[in-house]
Chain A
Amino acid sequence: MMSKYVGVLIVGIFLLLLIIAEWLGFAGLRWGAEAGLVFGTLFIAYQSRKDRASIAENHRQQVLAAQRFKSIKPVCEEMKQILNHEAIVIDQEALRIDTIIKEAVQVLGDSFHNVNMYSDQQRDLIKELIRRTNPGESAEDGDHFNMPVFLFETGSVLDQFVDMMMTMSRNSLDTVHHIDDMVTQLDGIFALIENVEGLASQTNLLALNASIEAARAGEAGRGFAVVADEVRSLSISSADLNCQIRERITIAKDTITQLHATVSKIAATDVSDTLATKERVGSMLANVAEINNYVVEHAGMMNVLGEQLDGAVNDAIRSLQFEDISSQALASLHNNINTLNQIADQMHQIKFDNEDQMDEQFKNLSLRCRLLREEVQSRSAARTVTQTGLKAGGVEIF
Chain B
Amino acid sequence: MPINSAVSSDNKRVMINITDRFDYGLHQSFRNSYQMVNEAGVIYSINLSRATYMDSSALGMVLLLKEHAEKKGGSVIICKPHPAVAKILKIANFDRFVTIEN
Contacts and interface: CB of A to CB of B under 8 A. Distances in A.
A159 interface: yes
Contact of B91 (A267, A269, A275): A275
Nearest to B54: A272
Interface string A266-288: 01111110111011000000000
B60 A267 contact: yes
B28 interface: yes
Nearest to A159: B93
Given A173-B27, A180-B28, A264-B24, A270 B64 contact: no
The size class of the interface chain A forms with chain B is 20 to 34
Interface residues of B, number: 19
B31 A268 contact: no
15 contacts: A159-B93, A162-B91, A166-B56, A166-B63, A170-B59, A173-B60, A174-B60, A176-B27, A177-B64, A264-B24, A268-B57, A269-B56, A272-B56, A274-B56, A276-B91
Nearest to A270: B55
Contacts of A166: 56, 59-60, 63, 92
Interface of B: 23-24, 27-28, 31, 54-57, 59-61, 63-64, 87-88, 91-93
A171 B87 CA distance: 23
Given A159-B93, A264-B24, 13 more contacts: A162-B93, A166-B59, A166-B60, A166-B92, A170-B63, A177-B64, A267-B27, A267-B57, A269-B57, A270-B57, A272-B56, A275-B88, A279-B91
Interface of A: 159, 162, 165-166, 168-174, 176-177, 180, 264, 267-272, 274-276, 278-279
The 3 closest A-B pairs by CB, nearest first: A169-B60, A268-B24, A170-B60
Given A166-B63, A267-B27, A272-B88, A173 B57 contact: yes
A180 B63 CA distance: 18
A172 B91 contact: no
Contacts of A264: 24
Contacts of A169: 56-57, 59-60, 63
Given A268-B24, A278-B91, A174 B64 contact: yes
A165 B56 contact: yes
B60 A172 contact: yes
A234 to B, nearest CB: 43
A173 B56 contact: no
A168 B91 CA distance: 16
A176 B25 CA distance: 12
A268 B23 CA distance: 8
B18 to A, nearest CB: 15
